[in-house]
Amino acid sequence: MTPFGQALRDLRRRKGVSQKEMAKAIGVSAAYLSALEHGKRGAPSFDFLQRVTGYFNVIWDEAEDLFRIANVSSPKTVLDTSGLTPEHTAFANRLSEQIRALSPETIRKLQDVLEKATFPDNDRG
């Protein structure tokens, strides 16, 4: 499941709507919604996201979060390390090989490392 798939499922369930009802209302198939929720489809289109936020009358902040989550929800990510050091390439390949074996705690730790590398002044404790 992708972050967007989880967010979409949570939103749909909070609103008490089935996949079939939602699909009919926004003009897609229930199979497509199921595939999105299970991470078997790539990130949704801008048009699809607009239909979802309109259908659920999502407020600005929540809509912005949904769009942001969609942008990081490609289930088949490619890392381009051309022009980087051999260490970068080796790390990217090792991560690709071992990502399925990483625990949720390890993923959180790696996310913290990336957050601190992106925002070095961030004092997250």
Of the candidates 52, 41, 46, 68, the one whose C-alpha atom is nearest the C-alpha of residue 12 is 52
Which residue segments constitute the domains of the chain, with CATH numbers given? 3-71 (1.10.260.40), 78-125 (no CATH)
Tens of pLDDT, residues 65-86: 889 888 888 777 888 899 999 9
In terms of pTM, does the model score above 0.85? no
54 φ, ψ to 5°? -70, -45
Q: Which residue is associated with the tokens 């022009």?
A: 83
Per-residue pLDDT band for 123 (boundaries 50, 70, 90) equals: low
Q: What is the mean pLDDT of residues 18-37?
A: 94
Residue type present at position 35: A
